Amino acid sequence: MTDPKTLIESGGAVLGIELGSTRIKSVLIGPDFKPLAQGSHEWENQLADGLWTYSIEAVHAGLQASYADLRAQVKARYGCEITRLSAIGVSAMMHGYMPFGADGRILVPFRTWRNTNTGAAAAELSDLFRFNIPLRWSISHLYQAILNGEEHVPQITFLTTLAGYVHWQLTGEKVIGIGDASGMIPVDPHTKDYNARMVKAFDTLVAPHHFPWKLRDILPKCLPAGADAGSLTPEGALFLDPSGTLRAGARLCPPEGDAGTGMVATNAVEPQTGNVSAGTSSFSMIVLEKDLSQPYEMIDIVTTPEGAPVAMVHCNNCTSDINAWVNVFAEFQQLMGQPVDRGELFTRLFEVALQGDADCGGLLSYNYISGEPVTGLAEGRPLLVRGASDRFTLANLMRAHLYASVGVLKIGNDILFGEEQVGVRRITGHGGLFKTKGVGQRFLAAALNSPISVMETAGEGGAWGIALLAAFCVDNPGGLSLAAWLDTVVFAGNEGVQVQPDPADVAGFDAWIRQYRDCLPVEEAAVRCKK
């Protein structure tokens, strides 16, 4: 391999950018697919007028700050600037609602995946399409806006996702990767395009409103992995790097959602493979060999970046409540005059959970920062529930929080592995929950009663996954499928470190989840009473 400085200066590096829920991450990789440098920017969603959002200004500023941090890391480490790139990929949190008018401006603030105000629309569309349409999908948001009589709807000329928006700004191309597209409106795995029957049904449904558009008029073009999705324009280069150092010309891969990049980052795009992404939200993706016997409200059918059907269980909440508790412990350390190392604090608190009782000593944690569609809650209230005789220890407290981070995920996957008998030979975990070795992995194995693998790249996440998709566009001389390229070129048979489910953990988690489900009315009461 060429030394990193020469590679970067010659324009041979590949950039992956992912706009996640709490961090915008930029990763630069070389021909061996290992990260050369990383940059990041922290951000948070805002609750405005009852809806979760990020402002367009925050998107622009955060993207530029993340890239600027990457530039600084490259300069500090290698003593050079990034002037050219071989390829770029953009990924972001999936779905939500970003409608634009003829002048290219957003018509209403970005409505994120976290919003659960689309119940009426999702239910009606699910019946119309005979297909489960989740609350967070773009089509649910669009139809809810129509049901609400919102004035902006007739003005829509383009509807896209966050990844699609950033890609549009970089290239001028209104396109989207098929995996991200499948969360706007269902796609047809045979045609690799939006489902024509459902598009027609939607147009018929809204025809009485006499909008000046048809659905396909406003949707981005759907592209599979490996397709040419345009090039970085001079305007796009300045949008990403206002310093003017970066030049135009890099090729871009189709923009994808975080679910698709998670599949790529864990080499889980073939049938009978799956992955679990666990961070601010969590979701599992199991690539299907055949269609499910019926639609399930808890299970979304999306696709891999190549268009193969995937059963997705998406949970709005995962580690945010754990982070809040760790903040409290950090405050206690400061109160006692002790230096705070947050990385060590997370590690110690995760590891002590291994000493807890298999059923958490009776403690229950509901980590619902926002609503949780899988359990039927439109709003959430973080809640710790315990009885006077429960074993209230630090180990059980942390174990209950960690169980809660994957508890809702278990409820959805019990349908797949139980009622549907879906076969899976490998599930790989990635994301922040797995950074402390052997803890999140062990509890997820207990929750799903399945072996769980974690690779050394588990913490790299979606920015690395979209960088791989960008590399796939420019570095696949053999014309391999994405699955074959990942298996033989990127991972070369590496399946990571696997943990088998411990029978005692499985029994304990099963007992815990029964009590968790029985006590859901307590969470419902908290939602009603605590505003």
CA distance 266 to 428: 6
In the CATH scheme, what architecture does the domain 268-453+506-531 have? Answer: 2-Layer Sandwich (3.30)
SS3 13: coil
Predicted pLDDT at 490: 93
Predicted pLDDT at 459: 57
CA distance 464 to 264: 9
Beta strands in 49-189 (DSSP E): 51-53, 87-92, 98-100, 158-160, 175-177, 187-188
Residue with tokens 């590891």: 351
Residue 466, both tokens: 């979209």
pLDDT level of residue 113 (50, 70, 90 thresholds): confident
What percentage of the chain carries pLDDT values higher than 90? Answer: 84
CA distance 32 to 30: 5
Find residue 29's DSSP bridge partners. 14, 35
pLDDT level of residue 13 (50, 70, 90 thresholds): very high
CA distance 305 to 284: 15
Contacts 24+ apart (CB under 8 A), 48-51: 48/109, 50/117, 51/109, 51/111, 51/115, 51/117
Task: Please compute the mean of the pLDDT values over residues 140-167 and round it to a whole number.
Answer: 98
Q: What is the pTM of this model?
A: 0.85
CA distance 170 to 176: 13
Return the closest-CA partner of residue 509 out of 429, 420, 424, 400. 400
Question: What residue segments make up the domains of the chain, in order of their start?
Answer: 4-257, 268-453+506-531
What's the chain's length in residues? 531
The fold adopted by the segment(s) 4-257 is Nucleotidyltransferase; domain 5 (3.30.420)
Residues 6+ apart with CB under 8 A from 508: 357, 358, 359, 360, 446
Predicted pLDDT at 435: 86
Half-sphere exposure of 403 (CA within 13 A, CB side): 33
Q: What is the pLDDT of residues 217-262, one digit of tens each?
A: 999 999 999 999 999 999 999 999 999 999 999 999 999 998 899 8
Task: Please compute the mean of the pLDDT values over residues 164-179 and round it to a whole number.
Answer: 98
- Kindly list the distances between the CA atom of residue 219 and the CA atoms of 22, 181, 214, 526, in Å, as whole numbers in the listed order: 27, 9, 9, 39
SS3 36: strand
Exposed, middle or buried: residue 247 (CB in 10 Å: 0-12, 13-18, 19+)? middle
SS3 456: helix
- Evaluate if residue 426 carries a pLDDT over 90: no
Residue 266, both tokens: 């864990």
The string of DSSP letters for 319-338 reads SHHHHHHHHHHHHHHHHTT-
Nearest-5° Cα angle at 164, 159 to 167: 135
CA distance 114 to 462: 19
Beta strands in 219-281 (DSSP E): 221-223, 251-252, 256-257, 273-278
Around Cβ 492, how many Cβ atoms within 10 Å? 8
- Evaluate if residue 283 carries a pLDDT over 80: yes
Mean of the per-residue pLDDT values of the chain: 94
Return the closest-CA partner of residue 468 out of 16, 2, 13, 8. 16
CA distance 123 to 103: 33
Range in 99-103, 116-120, 170-174, 192-196 the model is least confident about: 116-120
pLDDT level of residue 1 (50, 70, 90 thresholds): low
Residue 442, both tokens: 């062990």
Q: What is the pLDDT of residues 493-527, one digit of tens each?
A: 777 889 999 999 999 999 999 999 999 999 999 99
Q: What is the pLDDT of residues 62-87, one digit of tens each?
A: 999 999 999 999 999 999 999 999 99
Report strand pairing: 309-315 vs 282-287.
Answer: antiparallel
Q: What is the pLDDT of residues 368-401, one digit of tens each?
A: 998 898 898 989 999 999 999 999 999 999 999 9
Q: What is the pLDDT of residues 288-344, one digit of tens each?
A: 998 899 999 889 999 999 999 999 998 989 999 999 999 999 999 999 999 999 999
Predicted pLDDT at 112: 95
The string of DSSP letters for 166-183 reads HHHHHHS--EEEHHHHTT
Q: Do 4-257 and 268-453+506-531 fold alike per CATH?
A: yes
Predicted pLDDT at 116: 86
SS3 293: coil
pLDDT level of residue 457 (50, 70, 90 thresholds): low
Kindly give the residue spans of alpha helices, DSSP state H, lying in 416-488: 440-448, 461-474, 482-485
> Which contiguous run of DSSP H or E holds residue 46?
strand 46-48
Task: Please compute the mean of the pLDDT values over residues 105-129 and round it to a whole number.
Answer: 95
Residue 326, both tokens: 């760790």
Task: Please compute the mean of the pLDDT values over residues 338-360 and round it to a whole number.
Answer: 96
Residues 6+ apart with CB under 8 A from 406: 276, 278, 282, 318, 433, 440, 443, 444, 447
- Evaluate if residue 458 carries a pLDDT over 60: no
